Amino acid sequence: KQEVTQIPAALSVPEGENLVLNCSFTDSAIYNLQWFRQDPGKGLTSLLLIQSSQREQTSGRLNASLDKSSGRSTLYIAASQPGDSATYLCAVGTYNQGGKLIFGQGTELSVKP
Amino acid sequence: EAGVAQSPRYKIIEKRQSVAFWCNPISGHATLYWYQQILGQGPKLLIQFQNNGVVDDSQLPKDRFSAERLKGVDSTLKIQPAKLEDSAVYLCASSADRTGGYTFGSGTRLTVV
């Protein structure tokens, strides 16, 4: 059974810092891995989708990497801004679970001005 | 491209009452998902549809929850009777196929009092 863990659970940084959010998963037989952002009381916004054959994806100040063999992904945020404050969720689609996305519990990020 | 539409945005009901949520996925997306997100946790899959057939409902509490997707488009999730522990955000998502990225709706926040 796939399990997804995100560390840390919460993170507070000053504006301008570069930061890394971590995601680990137990079953490496995955279709893909997706990073989402969730603002308080809102739905999920897709940030980056990495297919199992890919090593990384980039969008603006965001870069996500995938290492299937070690069961890890990182989300790198460059030059953080107060508007980046949100909960970041990692989710994996796993072959032996019908491809459904299994989520981690999220990292709550606070960027202080 | 229009996103995933959900309604209502908020609902407050008393325990033992019934409630229904509606979802309209992205046009052409064959796969539709209902997730439950309890405060402070990652979303958990309740049910997955492929067109109008159920692929996975292993975590759906079938004694009180039901869902349908008529004509392979819109979907309705119902809870009857509701319990206090059903208080959560109910998220609908769709994808073109199992390996594609998910697009989520804004969610319905349910409070059972």
Q: Distance between CA atoms of B41 and B53, rounded to whole angstroms?
A: 28
Partner-chain contact B43 A51, CB within 8 Å: no
- The pLDDT-based confidence of B100 (bands split at 50, 70, 90) is confident
How much is the average pLDDT of B14-39?
95
Cβ separation of B99 and A93 shorter than 8 Å?
A: yes
When the pLDDT of each residue in chain B is averaged and rounded to a whole number, the result is 93
Render pLDDT for A20-39 as a digit per residue (tens, 0 to 9): 999 999 999 998 999 999 99
Search chain B and give the residue with CA nearest A41.
B109
A101 CB within 8 Å of a chain B CB: yes
Instruction: Judge whether residue B76 has pLDDT over 70.
Output: yes
Contact with chain A for residue B104, Cβ under 8 A: yes
- The percent of residues above 90 in pLDDT, for chain B, comes to 82
Best B104, B108, B109, B110 residue to mutate vs chain A (most A CBs within 10 Å): B104
Quick: pLDDT tens for A97-109: 777 899 999 999 9
- Residue A23: CB partners within 8 Å, gap ≥ 6? A4, A5, A6, A33, A35, A72, A73, A74, A75, A90, A104
Pairwise pLDDT comparison (A76 vs B98), residue with the higher score: A76
Tokens 């059974």 found at: A1
Question: How far does A24 lie from chain B, in Å, by closest CA?
Answer: 14
* B43 lies within 8 A of chain A by CB: yes
Strands B53-56 and B44-50: antiparallel
